[in-house]
Structure 1
Amino acid sequence: MKKQIREKLALGILLLLGLTACGGEEGSNGAIVNPPVTGPVPEMSIDACFTMITSLGEVGLGIDSRHTPQSAANFIGYVDDGFYDGTLIHRVIHNFIIQGGGFTSGMVPKPGKAPIKNEASVGFSNLRGTLAMARARQSDSATSQFFINTLDNPQLDYSASSEGYAVFGRVLSGMEVVDQIGIVATTRVGDYSDVPLEEIVIERIAPSECPMLEE
């Protein structure tokens, strides 16, 4: 059990391209000191919905344009451009996350647009089934890549010592597909680890009608 906890904490330190959070002000001991989230954490608002069609099935996604406007507009822009069509779910870490939106077949990087501001300080938690922006070490470095949490990962949240990873939506349907992807065999391809042994293709992400959600 202790080994599993240590492994999960270690994974939380390197989510995407070397996902070690940085930024904020440094305290006297060199640690990051971020301002606390002021006021209560808002309830996620599902303002726009999408269907992510993968080679293993469909996943319904809902995003929050009200509280995470930059992350939402960024994602919608990539969808409208057809950017995600033919990209891969290129990273799968069992009992942690699945990640996609930045590579095409053969693990060829697909350059994205300018990076956006990290909106993790809104306070949404990286709970199972939430959709979040992947980024590099710098806080405001997210471009096209996103991930879905397959377990609760509060170690990825904004805090006094971490800039966190911005949650901007959640899975509305097809979590069983996410779970199926989350247990596939992985390998190393060049410099990239945790790559699915058999390519999982995002065939398309398309706008869809939002379901009636319970209040």
Structure 2
Amino acid sequence: MLKTFASIIFVLSVAVTSLAHAANKSDGSHIQPDNYYPRVKIETSMGDIVVELDRRRAPITVNNFLRYVDKRSYEDTIFHRIVPGFVVQGGGYTTDFEGKSNFPAIFNESGNGLTNDLHTIAMARQNDPHTANRQFFFNVNDNESLNPGRDWGYAVFGLIVEGEDVVDAMSEVETEYSLVLNANNVPIEPIVIKKVTVLPPL
């Protein structure tokens, strides 16, 4: 009888510990956990953008993005790559072109059925398909070349619902080659992400 009681106590303590661990998660899944379509507001030096994320189709990617938002890690970063008629990319560098720290890279969810259409948001990555961490980009065209086919594509995880004109204006700013980044397409006048916040559920 005592042995059975001790076993029950043990099972209950494991369950409570597991629940406590789940409650303390900081991987982004704790942010509006019952909301499949959380919205974030990105306040920039050129205006505000509201994006609706698709956690149902891209749960890993959305949770990863929300984790950076929750840590206020996108604040005072820039859009460092502007390619007219293609993409507006940012979230990885400070205004001094210093790289921000990353969480571990995530699995590429490019096969989720979402495509790189005009005004969608997707994850940037290196040549290896599973190297996305914090940088993201807005598509400013229907970029079929970024969708999965014979090779891995780029994971789309949301859509702009307000501020499309802001992103379109970003795509037209003057750019130059940057010695610091050793890259083309860097805006001459920095476009700064001032703040990113999760909006209340609709």
**Same fold, TM-score > 0.5, yes or no:** yes
Alignment of 1:167-206 (within 5 A): 167-190=156-179, 191-206=182-197
- How many angstroms does 1:123 deviate by? 2.1
Letter in 1 for 2:146: L
Q: Determine if contact 1:127/1:153 at 8 Å carries over to the other structure.
A: yes
TM-score scaled by length of structure 2 = 0.80
State the secondary structure of the residue aligned to 2:198.
strand
> Any gaps of 5 or more consecutive residues in structure 2?
1-34
1:165 aligns with 2:154: yes
Distance across 1 between alignment mates of 2:189 and 2:71: 26
User: How many residues align structurally?
Assistant: 166
Structure showing greater Rg: 2
> Any gaps of 5 or more consecutive residues in structure 1?
1-44
Q: Determine if contact 1:107/1:189 at 8 Å carries over to the other structure.
A: no
Alignment of 1:1-215 (within 5 A): 47-159=37-149, 161-190=150-179, 191-210=182-201
- How many angstroms does 1:106 deviate by? 2.3
TM-score scaled by length of structure 1 = 0.75
- Range moving further from structure 2, 196-205 or 105-114: 105-114
Distance across 2 between alignment mates of 1:51 and 1:179: 17
Letter in 2 for 1:97: V
Structure 1 or 2: larger helix share? 2
Moved over 6 A (4+): none
Distance across 2 between alignment mates of 1:147 and 1:104: 16
Distance across 2 between alignment mates of 1:63 and 1:94: 24
Matched residues, percent identical? 35
CA deviation string 1:55-77 (max 9, x = no partner): 00000011011111100000000
Distance across 2 between alignment mates of 1:127 and 1:184: 21
